[in-house]
Amino acid sequence: MSNAQLILLDKRNQPLKDYLVAVAASDGLTIKGVEVMASPAKGEKSLLNGGIIIPPLEQYDYNPKKLTEASLKQINVNDEIISIECFIDRCSNDEAVRKALSKSINKFSKQLLTIMQSFCDSEVIDLIKERRNDALFKLHNHAKDLKGKKIVCIDIEATNISTDPEADIIQLSACDQDGKELFNQLINPGYDIPENDKHNITTEMVQGQPLLAQAWDEIHDTLRDADIVLAYSTESDFMYLQKSAEKKMLRFELDYNTWLDAAEMSRDLIGAMRWHSEKMYWFFKTPKLTAAYEHILAKPFPGDAHDALADAVATMELLQAMLEKGKKSQVKQPKPKAKAETITNNPFAAAFANAKKA
């Protein structure tokens, strides 16, 4: 007979909010200070220790029992993820010890359940659910508003980020709502393309390709004549076009009000919640196109993630999948939040607050 048992070690010394940063939505987290220890007997040296992983809360419907079951299947031992049964097998070759450890799983699970419950009772859960509902409601409306509209999806590769005034466009690609290619044009910037991990385009690839001014009219007019221009991060793509037109003195008749950002929709629908420690507020992190595509469509990202045409086609497919989720949702229009009245005995503060309202 053995007195071996699984013991939950909880040596956290930080507020719960600090741990919620990485698990609030689409992430998971190995909690520092929280471990499972296989103890042979009271006062004896541990047989083996493993880290406890908090699975993605949203993925398991914020259900503490489901989260506990999932966590027991992914114990972190020296960066290797194993089940609690495999963990026990590694603890000892003694059958009696393994049997005793297995018997203690139920007690250990109940202790772990308490931790999972504390995460699910957090203030952020309602914030996440509210954001998801709002996202579905907006997608439901988009599905109706976009019906019959001519949608063009664009993607741009450039020599640097859009905020760099020296950045130049080196590929412009677009497709229609059926994913059919409208244009896929490499652009010669007129100089050697610097190495960049954001694209795979080399100087050799753009040799013999037109300058932006030579390809501009067809590209510009295709976007101008669309009812809706779709992009993954419209702000950067629009900025590339606007700054390029200014720099090269090209006509520019594009209206940002007709642009639709798939990145914003993805952020609201699946983005992980984060805590901004300096500004002290929660915010939602925008997922990369590849991550959003694979999460929402539940299949691998097609083609090269650094090719403008592949990204445009994937973005259009992502939009269609999100609109379908919106159409199928039963979410009703969110009720407007009542503005809390600020109570103060300071007449100057009250006057300032009223002025702001006005």
Say yes or no: 189 and 300 in one domain: yes
Dihedral (CA of 54, 57, 60, 65) sign: positive
Say yes or no: 57 and 178 in one domain: no
| φ, ψ dihedrals at 325, nearest 5° | -65, -40
Q: How many CB atoms lie under 10 A from the CB of residue 281? A: 9
Residue 74 in contact with residue 81, Cβ under 8 Å? yes
**pTM flag (> 0.85):** no
Give residue 325's pLDDT band: very low, low, confident or very high (50, 70, 90).
very high
Mean pLDDT, the chain, integer: 87
pLDDT digits (tens, 9 = 90+) for 180-238: 999 999 999 999 998 877 788 999 999 999 999 999 999 999 999 999 999 999 999 99
Residue 150 in contact with residue 226, Cβ under 8 Å? yes
Say yes or no: 101 and 142 in one domain: no
Say yes or no: 94 and 71 in one domain: yes
Give residue 14's pLDDT band: very low, low, confident or very high (50, 70, 90).
low
Domain that holds residue 264: 126-335
For residue 155, give the amino acid letter.
D
For the chain, how big is the Rg over CA atoms in Å?
27
Say yes or no: 118 and 141 in one domain: no
92: in domain = yes
3-state secondary structure 82-143: ECHHHHHHHHCCCHHHHHHHHHCHHHHHHHHHHHHHHHHCCCHHHHHHHHHHHHHHHHHHHH
- Say which residue, 280 or 340, is predicted with more confidence: 280
Say yes or no: 257 and 301 in one domain: yes
Say yes or no: 323 and 236 in one domain: yes
**Contacts with 75 (C-beta within 8 Å, 6 or more apart), sequence order:** 36, 50, 51, 52, 53, 81, 82, 83, 84, 86, 87
130: in domain = yes
Say yes or no: 201 and 307 in one domain: yes
Give residue 172's pLDDT band: very low, low, confident or very high (50, 70, 90).
very high
Average pLDDT over residues 303-332: 90
Where among 122, 149, 177 does a domain terminate? 122
The tally of domains found in the chain comes to 2
Give residue 345's pLDDT band: very low, low, confident or very high (50, 70, 90).
very low
Average pLDDT over residues 139-154: 96
Say yes or no: 140 and 42 in one domain: no
pLDDT of residue 144 exceeding 90, the answer is yes
Which pLDDT does position 346 carry in this prediction? 44
Residue 187 in contact with residue 169, Cβ under 8 Å? yes
**What's 319's domain CATH number?**
3.30.420.10
Say yes or no: 171 and 306 in one domain: yes
Which pLDDT does position 341 carry in this prediction? 45
